[in-house]
């Protein structure tokens, strides 16, 4: 253990002293040079827990509509909103479970969340404010309560029997997590990689593909969503005992792409490919399958850099991702609804959460923020505890509901809430608002190439982003102590010594390109400059 830590620290030191690393980012061109999602910052919402508009204790579509101005009021001149331009809604379909990933009707909405008219109103109001909405699409499986499966299980001659995967006897092999994947029923064993109540669809049956293509077109054309987050994307089609990232899955997505692009040429898909290397992720974003994939490797690195005060975790992961996916068509994040919340992983330290946010929002990729992350909500598994009600105020039920909430808010909501942080310039929420505003204003931070500048200190992170004439320097002290003996190496940057650095965050003083743009780097502080 100690030996491993020594090697890790040595690697971090060597990384900080290496020559500058350049990674070109070349997004796929559209009319303005980039797909719309490359200019977006997304916000993940669990509808049940965001805002309850009718007092029944369950969040709903109208509740989100009420809070859209918090997310983005549509006026770029205001600073009181978060500034996000995309929303990912966790499953909104009818479902017997609280989370909604086991769907019983792909053409409807969960009545606990409201009506289809309520959802369309939310879409319209979001679009007015420049916010696009993507929804969670669980293509891999249905609920065991879905009419298709109920009929398939009841009758071996049902037309829906081959919509699922069956065996007369138990094949008796396990899944990727050593879990049971073959489940008994009165008419045979069926395959479900996640749970017995989530039977997998059989995409070797063309009728299943045709139906789910129809479902996708319905939501894109008739309802008007802007795309899909594809749950469990790598598990779509099994090849015998190989249950993830199969050639058949890749072929299916190649055929799926023209389907969703025909429904809406600007539709976006982002795949959940968890636990895989950037090289594996790149296989899905080669241009003929998905638009984006979630980069879990990078997410873990951001948390590690913030937690351990070592820049190398982030710099190495960004470099690694850039080599595998040079066009940076991946989704970046800190945590999501399946992981312990970022603030819990950072042991409740707000300063670490601030630098983690800075790493996320100044790096390549399309950033996603999990609801409540911007105020420092905490939560550890089980899953219900990382999906608790949003903490709007210190009042009753954290301002989430006028009735009894489906789950009680976290114990710290009296201090950690939107209202308490809104007027505080030193709050985590203010940090997120400022970082998103800077990212929205500067194409270099969204789609620019990057150069890491050696600093001579393992805890000092320095990144130059460049998009045309827009050049942004990001300088972060990840440590709990100040530094006045760091030194930036501008040699490979192409920036001339003496060029003016105009402050955007961390200081109000202009500087010049030099080894020390800031004389002393304060602990856990982010400095952002525009290179003039």
Q: Active-site residue numbers? A: 231, 272
Give the number of C-alpha atoms closer than 13 A to the C-alpha of residue 210, restricted to the C-beta side: 4
First to last CA, the chain: 46
Instruction: Check if the beta carbon of residue 432 is closer than 8 Å to that of residue 82.
Output: yes
Rounded (to 5) percent helix, strand, coil in the chain: 35, 15, 50
Tokens 């603030």 — which residue? 343
Q: Measure Cα distances from 168 to 196, 218, 243 in Å.
A: 16, 35, 20
Distance CA(408)–CA(491), nearest Å, equals: 55
Distance CA(106)–CA(503), nearest Å, equals: 49
Instruction: Check if the beta carbon of residue 338 is closer than 8 Å to that of residue 383.
Output: yes
Strand spans (E) along 478-524: 500-505, 511-512
Distance CA(400)–CA(530), nearest Å, equals: 39
What single-letter DSSP state applies at residue 137? E
Spell out the SS3 assignment of 389-427. CCCCCCCHHHHCCCCCCCCCCCCCCCCCCHHHHHCCCCC
Distance CA(98)–CA(91), nearest Å, equals: 10
Nearest CA to 355 out of 365, 341, 343, 370 is that of 343
Nearest CA to 47 out of 401, 440, 510, 295 is that of 401
Nearest CA to 428 out of 361, 382, 475, 337 is that of 361
Distance CA(314)–CA(262), nearest Å, equals: 38
Distance CA(524)–CA(133), nearest Å, equals: 34
Structure token digits, residue 422: 């809104």
Q: Specify the DSSP element, H or E, that contains 359.
A: helix 350-362
Residue environment code for 6-23, b if the CB has 16+ CB neighbours within 10 A, otherwise e: eeeeeebeebbeeebbbb
What single-letter DSSP state applies at residue 484? S
Structure token digits, residue 291: 């638009």
Structure token digits, residue 372: 């409540």
Distance CA(434)–CA(457), nearest Å, equals: 26
Distance CA(71)–CA(184), nearest Å, equals: 46
Mention every residue, 6+ apart, whose C-beta is less than 8 A from residue 362.
Answer: 435, 439, 445, 463, 465, 472, 474, 528
């Amino acid at each position: 253990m100690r030996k491993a830590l020594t090697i890790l620290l040595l690697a971090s030191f060597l990384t900080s002293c290496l020559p500058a690393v350049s990674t070109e980012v070349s997004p796929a061109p559209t009319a303005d040079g980039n797909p719309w999602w490359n200019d977006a910052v997304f916000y993940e919402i669990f509808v049940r827990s965001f805002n309850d508009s009718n007092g029944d204790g369950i969040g709903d579509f109208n509740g989100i509509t009420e809070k859209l101005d918090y997310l983005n009021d549509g006026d770029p001149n205001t600073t009181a909103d978060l500034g996000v331009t995309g929303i990912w809604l966790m499953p909104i379909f009818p479902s017997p479970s609280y989370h909604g990933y086991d769907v019983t009707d792909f053409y409807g909405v969960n009545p606990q969340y409201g009506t289809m008219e309520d959802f369309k109103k939310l879409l319209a109001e979001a679009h007015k404010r420049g916010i696009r909405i993507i929804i969670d699409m669980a293509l891999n499986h249905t609920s065991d309560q879905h009419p298709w499966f109920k009929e398939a299980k009841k009758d071996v001659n049902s037309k829906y029997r081959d919509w699922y995967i069956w065996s007369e006897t138990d094949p008796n092999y396990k899944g990727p997590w050593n879990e049971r994947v073959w489940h008994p029923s009165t008419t045979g064993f069926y395959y479900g990689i996640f749970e017995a109540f989530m039977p997998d669809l059989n995409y070797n049956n063309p009728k299943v593909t045709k139906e789910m293509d129809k479902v996708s077109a319905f939501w894109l054309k008739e309802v008007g969503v802007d795309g899909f987050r594809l749950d469990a994307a790598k598990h779509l089609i099994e090849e015998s005992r190989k249950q993830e990232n199969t050639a058949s899955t890749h072929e299916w997505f190649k055929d799926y792409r023209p389907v969703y692009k025909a429904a809406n040429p600007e539709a976006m898909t982002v795949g959940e490919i968890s636990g895989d290397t950037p090289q594996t992720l790149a296989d899905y974003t080669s241009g003929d399958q998905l638009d984006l994939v979630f980069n879990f490797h990078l997410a873990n690195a951001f948390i590690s850099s913030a937690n351990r005060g070592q820049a190398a975790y982030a710099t190495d992961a960004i470099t690694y991702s850039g080599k595998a996916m040079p066009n940076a068509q991946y989704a970046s994040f800190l945590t999501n609804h399946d992981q312990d919340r970022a603030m819990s992983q950072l042991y409740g330290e707000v300063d670490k959460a601030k630098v983690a946010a800075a790493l996320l929002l100044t790096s390549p990729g399309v950033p996603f923020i999990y609801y409540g992350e911007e105020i420092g909500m905490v939560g550890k598994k089980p899953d219900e505890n990382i999906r608790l009600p949003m903490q709007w105020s210190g009042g009753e039920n954290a301002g989430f509901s006028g009735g009894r909430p489906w789950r009680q808010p976290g114990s710290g909501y009296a201090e950690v809430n939107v209202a308490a942080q809104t007027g505080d310039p030193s709050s985590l929420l203010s940090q997120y608002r400022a970082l998103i505003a800077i990212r929205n204003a500067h194409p270099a931070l969204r789609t620019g190439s990057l150069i890491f500048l050696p600093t001579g200190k393992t805890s000092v992170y320095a990144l130059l982003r460049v998009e045309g004439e827009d050049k942004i320097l990001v300088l972060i002290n990840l440590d709990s102590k100040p530094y006045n003996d760091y030194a930036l190496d501008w040699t490979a940057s192409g920036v001339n010594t003496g060029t003016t650095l105009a402050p955007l965050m961390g200081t109000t003083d202009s500087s010049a390109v030099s080894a020390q743009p800031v004389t002393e780097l304060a602990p856990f502080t982010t400095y952002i400059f525009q290179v003039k």
